[in-house]
Amino acid sequence: MTTKLTTHLEGPRVEAALVYRDDDMPGRWLVEAPDHQMAEEAFSGPNACRNALEFAHRRYGSARFFAN
């Protein structure tokens, strides 16, 4: 039996995109880029929250979700 030992140093975590409910428009969710360089993406409709989270994960690799 052999054992494989690995020592892998990981880089710092990538900052997550912010996903939150739009206070000005009910039923709309916003995705804010982690570096705040791009404009917010807006999602509305019955699956707006899920669509916003999926977009954030697809585009930025992670998301922080704020439900208020």
For the chain of 68 residues, list the mean pLDDT of each consecutive stretch of 10: 66 83 93 87 95 94 81
**Residue 4 belongs to a domain:** no
**Residue 48 belongs to a domain:** yes
**Residue 11 belongs to a domain:** no
pLDDT at 3: 66
**Residue 6 belongs to a domain:** no
**Residue 10 belongs to a domain:** no
Query: Which of these, 9, 3, 21, lies nearest to 67 by C-alpha position?
Result: 21
- pTM reported for the whole predicted model: 0.74
List helix spans (H) across 1-68. Answer: 48-60
pLDDT at 41: 93
Instruction: Say how many domains are in the chain.
Output: 1
Domain interval for residue 48:
17-66
